[in-house]
Structure 1
């Protein structure tokens, strides 16, 4: 019998870690302990008007290999799809503006292409950046502060904020340049023009014909569900509703204690992967790596909600493109909308069978919780109101709706995040047989989380191969 491993957390990072471990060594005795009622974390489906649809993340970056590679490993390649070739918009200054071409996280290679979103004076302010000289920066600062100093506040408020907020549900003037937008950070450390950096990125994008994003027929949540099925088939034990209360050192490895306080359940294992959000990881590491725990405790999270609407198909107005983003300066309740039926052919087909058109809206940014305290029916009404205003047509009452609340959904990579992660990894490196992974460290997207899980598993495997196994429980 092989070594015993506990994976704490059943989101995509933890499931990937377990998958990598069991594929590399089928003799391992692996237990996945997940606090939720089902695995998958923020990848989840729900049935709305008879259609099973994502109510968490609904797409993944396709130009990174991790997610598409895992899809293929799991035998899901025939479900892989890409969005329909329709553009997105930004709802600002009273109307929908087509997303400007050739932007680097909102920084336009040619500011004139954003005219309308930007006034003539704001375009001129941005264009002047290309003629200036800059000294390289040496310390991290926020994306918003850096970009505003180069090309003006309006570019941040009208372009960078909605794009960056769509990824992190955060604020550009709080998020780390170093941790969130690598090309802009590289340009900053070289003293390069941001417009020139955006131009280089645009040229590179033209030469890359591969689709940017991908999804799965049936929803992205199919991915963790298939992972769980295959893990179980290989003997991996998955425990849902298992809250891990502490992790203890033992002479030969680790003891993981879960369950209710009056009746705890303990697993003696040779290795542990902590694939949890930052706060529970900090709690579990407090007695073993206090500096790492302190750094983890500094990682804040944004809460949000996804409002899915099923509208009667016969009375839905034309939906322009795949959806739109909303700059926070506009003061609307929703921060983004996805016209799911226009973006994904499989959603359109499934909705047509039920006589509905499906779309969704996102609500909530970091530190903005007032809207999220409203009841479901009010969030549905506010989403419908904002969507109607943006489209210039009153949307019909939905035949069905779903409000999925995500408390502590997205980690905020605040200024200094890269240094915090280095402190965490340094502390964890002193704990043989214990690894961490997840969205709190090196990226919040699905490919980054998959890569994080694989990396943790590979490091743990190296450790397990160097020590004799104990008898797992």
Structure 2
């Protein structure tokens, strides 16, 4: 591990202590910089939050890391969490659709099947026949970008989108498949669609490449104690190596000076040789408006989805759940919750911590549905219990509940998002000593945020190769692996 930076080294201010900002600070210390992290909230971690329910440690934000990418699990190992990384105890999941829980099909790429047979049991007979027509259709051009739902529906029918693609994308982006960019949200599918006439053929080609790569190991990883402990461990490592992290300090101004940057934050106005802005789009836009007005305008245009997590704890003796890690819910079925995780079945460390308690999570809120977050906690708990009873037969009363709201928690990637990101980065690159990173640019998962942070640090060092790679090919987020 690197030692603390020398007193005379360059000073870099990182604005924002979510996982992207913390990863940037960690990497900057590796490069010998003197680092100050400024965070408006009273804690670090952003959308990663560890908590407790009924005395059991749980995640109240994101709960898993895509392990087929190296960035997040690599960072966890670097900050001392290697022995706490754990794969899910079960990887089987279900869809609550057409009145019952149905096994999640195998052999798809973000819900798009390679064959009609792969989704038999989920789709109607008419839907299965529509998939088979894909091989007979003329080529559908994708151009520079296309909406996932629009393209998939044109090739294999709306039922695939409504019952498979929508719930899977909703679990990642809380978005609308008919608005989301295929190039940014499902880049491997976009690439394959450019070179294949048939969409099902393209999916099979992706699956064949994945099989040929002989990738081993789990697709996802969790962390004992919760993924929310990752930013805490990164922050501890940053501080141990001489980095300064100041919470409860909102940055209100950022201006360029002849010898660097001036960062205004309350009664602090530190000078910096370089600045990394690791903030959600609206806050980043506010800070960049004076120095990078065009980039700020593009950031202002980014839309967000809000969501809430309802966490429920039960006495094990009162609960009989279906097997598996939980289920996703297609919006077309008209239910309120969009997913439920059987946390005690998915993560062995939760079950081991209190064998007499069962923990479940349910999520509500999609793009355009922010009003549901205004309802009282008791109402959201009641909604979750109602849908869980309908899906699983669970009638017991919980012994503890928690509601966590993530207002404007997930940036949306509409058609043309890649071009917007390229414009933002072009404007930022024109200002020496300035870089941006976070979920708004290259993917909403933890590995994507960490990759974005590392690319930002490289850019400060004059190496823009990682930035260009990410802008062209964002990090695939959850549920997108071939055959999963």
TM-score norm. by structure 1 comes to 0.94
* 3-state SS in 2 of match to 1:52: strand
Is 2:15 aligned against 1:22?
no
1:94-122, Cα deviation, whole Å (9 max, x unpaired): 00110111011101112223223211111
Equivalent residue for 2:330, pick from 324, 327, 330:
327
Shift of 1:205: 4.2
CA contact (8 A) 2:91 2:324 kept: yes
CA contact (8 A) 2:11 2:34 kept: yes
Within 1, Cα distance between the matches of 2:70 and 2:197? 29
Is 2:304 aligned against 1:277?
no
Within 2, Cα distance between the matches of 1:375 and 1:181? 35
Shift of 1:191: 4.1
CA contact (8 A) 1:135 1:191 kept: no
CA contact (8 A) 1:4 1:30 kept: yes
CA contact (8 A) 1:34 1:242 kept: yes
Is 2:412 aligned against 1:420?
no
Is 2:409 aligned against 1:409?
yes
Within 2, Cα distance between the matches of 1:299 and 1:366? 12
Q: Which runs of 5+ in 2 are unaligned?
A: 1-7, 464-484
TM-score norm. by structure 2 comes to 0.91
Shift of 1:187: 2.5
Within 1, Cα distance between the matches of 2:322 and 2:91? 11
* 3-state SS in 2 of match to 1:441: helix
Shift of 1:266: 0.9
**2:5 — aligned with what?**
none
Within 1, Cα distance between the matches of 2:288 and 2:92? 45
Shift of 1:198: 1.7
Equivalent residue for 1:176, pick from 181, 186, 194:
181
**2:477 — aligned with what?**
none
**1:368 — aligned with what?**
369
1:82-140, Cα deviation, whole Å (9 max, x unpaired): 01234101111100110111011101112223223211111000111023331543231
**1:186 — aligned with what?**
191
* 3-state SS in 2 of match to 1:265: coil
Is 2:230 aligned against 1:227?
no
Equivalent residue for 2:313, pick from 310, 317, 329:
310
* 3-state SS in 1 of match to 2:52: strand
Equivalent residue for 2:157, pick from 149, 152, 156:
152
Shift of 1:208: 2.5
Alignment RMSD (CA, Å) = 1.3
What does residue range 66-465 of structure 1 map to in structure 2 within 5 Å?
66-206=71-211, 207-259=214-266, 264-352=267-355, 355-391=356-392, 393-462=393-462
1:14-63, Cα deviation, whole Å (9 max, x unpaired): 000000001110xx331101111210111111111001211000001000
CA contact (8 A) 1:351 1:358 kept: no
Name the count of aligned residue pairs.
454
CA contact (8 A) 1:183 1:197 kept: no
Within 2, Cα distance between the matches of 1:323 and 1:63? 21
* 3-state SS in 1 of match to 2:418: helix
Within 2, Cα distance between the matches of 1:372 and 1:446? 24
CA contact (8 A) 2:329 2:339 kept: yes
CA contact (8 A) 1:141 1:177 kept: yes
Within 1, Cα distance between the matches of 2:210 and 2:359? 30
1:386-416, Cα deviation, whole Å (9 max, x unpaired): 011101x133111111101011111100110
* 3-state SS in 2 of match to 1:201: helix
* 3-state SS in 2 of match to 1:287: coil
Within 2, Cα distance between the matches of 1:343 and 1:356? 14
1:266-308, Cα deviation, whole Å (9 max, x unpaired): 1111110000001111111111111111111111111101111
